[in-house]
A and B are shown apart, each in its own frame.
Chain A
Amino acid sequence: MVNAPDSRETIVEAAGLVKVFSDFWMRTKARAVDGIDFSIRRGEIFGLLGPNGSGKSTTIKMILGLLRKTRGRLTIFGKDPSDVSVKKRIGYLPEESYMYRFLNARETLEYYGRIFGLRASVRRRRADELLEMVGLGTAGLRPVGEYSKGMTRRIGIAQALINDPEFLILDEPTSGLDPIGTRQVKDLLLDLKRRGKTILLSSHLLADVEDVCDRMTILYGGKVRASGTGEELLRDTAHTVIRTARLDDATIAEIERVLSSREGLSVERVEHPRQRLEDLFLQIVERARVEHAATSGAASGGATAKFLLGEEESESGEGLIEDLVEGRSEIPAAAKAVVAPVQPPAEEATSAVVSELVDDGPRPSEPKKAPPPPAGVDDSVIEGLLGGDDDDTPRSGDRSR
């Protein structure tokens, strides 16, 4: 449970953080956060796990300055969370997307872009790319009030990214999203991580966290119960798994005999792994898209927005003219960040990798892309699911012997 020393810049640091909610008469109503310590370093995806009421959202709201801490120390980019200037570097997706029902998606992004002081041309380009990315390209002019929950979630994700944030805080990002959207969010997080972005991810869906997080903290009752890298927390040193092509029963029996004679062990379980349901679902939807099947609502999301990949176009003459029209005397900080995207310090990153290779200690898990789906799928299983039947189809194809 001991973390390896990490020389990367600390983005968020909490020490002895306490949040007590009181009623009107100043009587303690709840101790939502109770002396927690953690830090988030540049370039990592940090998971905040815990059941309902464990203090995750309260912690996030304190980081964002929406709640004031009762005691302890909390800094973000080395400053107090109430400092407005640090918010230029943050993107936030709340657990529910709170949108203006009377604005359409494009106006919503335009609004938040203006709050960040982005130039009109940059706002327009980013809005186009983000809407395309979250699959709302064709619904961009519809009032957000008419959106389904999933569509609202998508526009929520888009608004959190409009400023190309250095530090992204996502509270239940995949809530309300279909598997395609969920997969896309995960891929997006990994893309952002590759660009050196720092991400704080709070989720109930443990699989989501496991797939993408470098380090995580598990909260319960406002206290930290466990903390560390995925490898540290999940490594099973008591077992060995050998993956190979399918074996017949005789071979398995032979292997069991060898194990028994050499190591005195028996085979606990033999699995014939099945494809993940998520992969199967995505494959079917992709096939339908290729066939141009009609659908309403959000389309499947497009590729990650260029500006989030650091491929934004450089300053144009049009932009400069807009600067003059809008009376700006200097390029806003957020725009500067676009011109010179933040990268993790190369030297530090290299030295971290070298030390990991040299040391035999625990290593942060590599980001994993979901495996490509195999060919030849039984569509009837998925059709049953899409039909909304709440059957008890097992998720796992594990068979024990």
Chain B
Amino acid sequence: MTGWIVDLYRRLEAWQERLGARVFLSILALAIVAGAAWPTLSVARRLSYVERGIVEVLGEANLAMQTAEAIQFIESGTVDFEGRTYGDGRFAGAVDLFDEAGAFLAAAGLATVLAAEEIPDWCPNFIVQTTWTPIGYGLLALAWLMLAIWAGASIPLLATTLVATLVAVPSWLLGFVPATFAIAGIGVLGFSFVLLIRLELILLGSCGQVGAVASTVIREAVRQRGFAAFIVGLIVVLPLVPLWLDAEMPLRYQLQTFIGRSLGITFAVAACLTLVLGCATVAFEIRDRQILQLMTKPIARTRYLLGKWVGIMTLDAALLAVCGLSIFIFIQYLQSRPAADAFDARAIRDEVLVARVSMKPEYDLLSTSRLLELVDAAIDDDPMLRDDIEQGTADEYDVRRDLFIGFQSEHLAAQRSIAPGADRIYRFDGLAAARDRGANLTLRYRFYAGTSDELEQLPVIFRFENDGSWTDRKFVPAQRMVLPVPASAIDEDGVLSLAVVNVGFNRDAPEGTMPYYPGPYSISFESDDFEVLYPVSSFEANFLRAMLVTWIKLGFLAMLGVGTASVLSFPVACLTSFALFLSAEAAPFLAMSIDTYRIWDRDGNVLWLKWTGLKIATGVEWALRSFGNTRPNPALVEGRLVGWGEVLQTAVVIGVGWSAAVLLVSMLLFRRKELAVYSGQS
């Protein structure tokens, strides 16, 4: 039975190598892609037309002026365009979608949601977002197919498609649609990876000795079960991540959960693979003595190590490219699904699928001389403290340092606290660019008040000092909240002055009575919990930069694995590499621990063991903090910018500096190393 299948497969494999077969398959691929792209392009054009029309209709709507469009929307949640009604009761009564002047806050986002009704069932929403997306996806698919055809992988592609279809069809028939997509995803991902690896091997073929060593590393990774398990595991798990999403959650949370989990899994698996492969490919080659044979050939040891590193980096590039592309496509698919409401849709656009920079308010700092005065006064006023210093039970330097830091912190905390009925103005400087771009700004805040009961909603008013406009809000203590900020609130100098007023506004207050009332508790917040964010780049570019940063980080791990294994045995090299990797990843948490770590006993005596531990931890944290602080994935989840500056800095510091340092140290030791060992009797 299997004999004729194998025979047929071999015949087809031989056939696809012919030029005529490749040309035929290319024309076929072109026809298939064009056949699929044409109808989706028509849908995209229609969708774009309807969106523009709805934006125009919404532009005429004004709640303050009680226009017919505004009243229809508030009453029924619908909009009419060219005789067709878009929308439904979900949007009825959504007065929050209008600003103080009665105009729509985010007409474009709402139009996208309403026009989605134009998309037929057979068409995935994310493919028709703009008139260019069907063309982009079509070209991507065509390039992928052409690569498969001309790299001699047409028949494997056909076989993969066939197997994936055979597995997916029963799942589809049984109604497990997400599982069907997951199975198809596994097939596409797996084949794409194979295709990229083939392409990389072809490219490395012209890279001399380094390329030869690198090619062998790639073959080792994909053919040895231990390493292939990482790759297969990732390719299988990644398409299953969407199955864990809670479909009841607002779409923005689904997106954030998916981005966080999928990128987290990808980085974790790729990092482990990189370290294990880096250690194994060198250590096992020394242990199993293939290196004896290789080093009698004309290859310098530096080139050998570089080849190993290039091989792992190339493998990581393929892995990240395939995983990144699949994650990106699924994000596009997710964001094209209907949002829970208009706020959800706006949040996706302005807070998740965006690249924003953050600006914190300026706080007043006490001068050093003033702080020293306060410290002196505090010591003078505290006889017990003075006695401790005089008797040597407390170190004067430590006491003064703690007081110094404490006064400054106290002064800053006071500026982040607003008493009931009071207000405080915060200045955000350097926002001229945001104002000029007319960007949608977001104030992100988390207030603490009273007992911070999560079920309690407390009032607050935000007042924009530039134009005097204000808005009243309810906040849940200790929960992260957001407030849209119009670009017009920024003055000509690029300064946003925002007053936080700890009062409530009673809309139903009888005429002639005061509608304002003081908040029940003082409001306070941490310095990281009050910031203005504004978009400076697209999510797509941000995603690409985040993947680049991840790749560079993996590059260092690859060099770490290769370097340690060149002088240590596999278990020791693995242990060392993983210890360094985990320490580097945990460096920010280590820094927090160091801040609160105490090395004195109750009598003020230094505990030397703890002191030694602290010094080691401080050294490790200092040396590795760059790696730990470079975290592109959380930034992507929160819609924060991963700038080219960060990419460049990571490339220079971690990619070049750290990797070169590891290579240099390894080379110094590896060059001195005798690769053969004494095999006689001592």
Contact = CB atoms under 8 A, between A and B. Distances in A.
A and B are partners in one complex rather than unrelated chains: yes
A57 B293 contact: no
Nearest to B293: A98
Interface in B626-682: 674-676, 678-682
A325 B299 contact: no
Interface string A80-98: 0000110110101010111
A112 interface: yes
A315 to B, nearest CB: 19
Given A53-B681, A66-B674, A99 B211 contact: no
B297 A115 contact: yes
Interface stretch (A100-108, A278-286, A367-375): A100-108
Interface string B294-309: 1111111000000000
Contact of B211 (A57, A90, A94, A114): A114
Contacts of A143: 223
A279 to B, nearest CB: 33
B216 interface: yes
Contacts of A100: 216, 220, 290
Contact of B674 (A29, A68, A98, A326): A68
A176 interface: no
A99 B224 CA distance: 14
Contact of B296 (A29, A58, A64): A64
Given A68-B674, A114-B212, A90 B681 contact: no
B405 interface: no
B295 A65 contact: yes
A394 interface: no
Label chain B's interface by main secondary structure.
Answer: loop
Interface in B194-224: 205-206, 208-209, 211-213, 215-216, 219-220, 223-224
Label chain A's interface by main secondary structure.
Answer: mixed
A61 interface: yes
A53 B212 contact: no
A334 B680 CA distance: 35
A58 B292 CA distance: 13
Contact of B298 (A21, A85, A107): A85
Given A87-B296, A92-B296, A114-B211, A30 B220 contact: no
B152 to A, nearest CB: 15
A115 B294 contact: yes
A199 interface: no
A30 B678 contact: yes
Contacts of A17: none
B276 to A, nearest CB: 16
A84 B215 CA distance: 22
A28 to B, nearest CB: 9
Contacts of B424: none
A327 B18 CA distance: 27
Interface string A348-376: 00000000000000000000000000000
B288 interface: yes
B289 interface: yes
A327 B674 CA distance: 34
Contacts of B293: 92, 94, 97-99, 156, 159
Contacts of A38: none
A112 B294 CA distance: 8
Interface string A131-175: 000000000000100000000000010010001000001000000
A116 B208 CA distance: 9
Interface string B483-524: 000000000000000000000000000000000000000000
Q: How large is the interface on A (under 10, 10 to 19, 20 to 34, 35 or more residues)?
A: 35 or more
B674 A87 contact: no
A302 interface: no
Nearest to A162: B297
Interface in A61-75: 61, 64-68
B224 A102 contact: yes
B297 A102 contact: no
Contact of A84 (B290, B294, B300, B674): B300
Contacts of A61: 292, 676
Contacts of B674: 66-68
A68 B677 CA distance: 11
Contacts of B288: 98
A127 B432 CA distance: 67
Nearest to B206: A326
B206 A21 contact: no
Nearest to A61: B676
A200 to B, nearest CB: 12
Given A84-B300, A115-B299, A29 B216 contact: no
A355 to B, nearest CB: 35
A52 interface: yes
A66 B292 contact: yes
Given A30-B682, A85-B298, A103-B219, A325 B206 contact: yes
Nearest to A97: B293
B14 to A, nearest CB: 14
Contacts of B682: 21, 29-30
A306 to B, nearest CB: 22
B208 A117 contact: yes
A58 B289 CA distance: 15
A32 interface: yes
Given A100-B216, A114-B212, A66 B675 contact: yes
A159 to B, nearest CB: 7
B206 A111 contact: no
Contacts of B216: 100, 103, 111
Interface in A167-193: 169
B675 A21 contact: no
Contacts of A53: 680-681
Contacts of B212: 111, 114-115
Contact of B209 (A96, A98, A107, A114): A114
Contacts of B300: 84
B680 A94 contact: no
A275 to B, nearest CB: 38
Nearest to B294: A115
Contacts of B295: 64-66
Contacts of A115: 209, 212-213, 294, 297-299
Contact of A116 (B215, B297, B678): B297
B681 A30 contact: yes
A163 B224 CA distance: 28
Contacts of B678: 21, 29-30, 32, 58
A193 B209 CA distance: 30
A345 B205 CA distance: 38
A27 B215 CA distance: 41
22 contacts: A53-B681, A58-B678, A61-B292, A61-B676, A66-B292, A66-B295, A67-B674, A84-B298, A87-B298, A90-B296, A92-B293, A94-B289, A98-B289, A98-B293, A100-B216, A102-B224, A107-B219, A111-B216, A114-B212, A115-B209, A115-B294, A169-B296
Closest 9 CB pairs of A and B: A114-B212, A53-B680, A102-B223, A21-B678, A87-B298, A66-B676, A92-B296, A98-B289, A88-B298
Interface of A: 21, 29-30, 32, 52-53, 57-58, 61, 64-68, 84-85, 87-88, 90, 92, 94, 96-100, 102-103, 107, 111-112, 114-117, 120, 143, 156, 159, 163, 169, 325-327
Given A66-B292, A96-B289, 18 more contacts: A30-B680, A53-B680, A57-B679, A58-B678, A58-B680, A61-B676, A67-B676, A68-B674, A84-B298, A98-B289, A98-B292, A102-B223, A114-B208, A115-B212, A116-B298, A117-B209, A117-B298, A143-B223
Interface of B: 205-206, 208-209, 211-213, 215-216, 219-220, 223-224, 288-300, 674-676, 678-682
